[in-house]
Homo-oligomer: A and B are copies of this chain.
Amino acid sequence: MIREISVPTHKHTEFINIGRQVQNAVKEIGVKDGICLVYTPHTTAAITINEDADPDVTRDIMMELEKAFPWNDIDYRHNEGNSAAHIKSSLVGASVMVIMENGKLIQGTWQTIYFCEFDGPRNRKVYVKIVGK
């Protein structure tokens, strides 16, 4: 069984905390013990795990990624003009894996799961799949 989460994004670049939605999907799937894959089917977005507490953490990640892989670069050739979003997508990655035990995601105190929008705003999707028992 696959659960699909809808993630509407509202800015060009945005990290959206989807930890609660993933936990709800996990409950609906009903598998108690195993590994949970959180996967986005988009090539200008990504999924990551990082700090939940201070919003400046994800703000600084976005800023520094923009410095290293700028939106504007005279050498880009891709005619949609969003090469930087594709680059960030491959570096951050299309998915994360989290261990499940007793029906709960096992994460660190400060960890949550983020959907990373790199070319929004758009209506995005995330798939949740569990293997285990």
Is B106 a contact partner of A2 (Cβ separation < 8 A)? yes
Report whether A79 and B56 are in contact in the complex, using a CB–CB cutoff of 8 Å.
Answer: yes
Number of copies: 3
Across the interface, A97 reaches (CB within 8 A) one of B37, B43, B75, B106, namely B37
Query: What per-residue 1/0 map shows which CB atoms of A66-81 lie under 8 Å from chain B?
Result: 0111000101111110
Interface pair A111/B80, CB less than 8 Å apart: no
Q: List B contacts of A99 (CB < 8 A).
A: 2, 37, 39, 127, 129
| Interface, chain A (partner B; CB < 8 A) | 2, 34-35, 37, 39-43, 48-51, 54, 56-57, 59-61, 63-65, 67-69, 73, 75-80, 83-84, 86-87, 89-99, 101, 106-111, 127, 129, 131-132
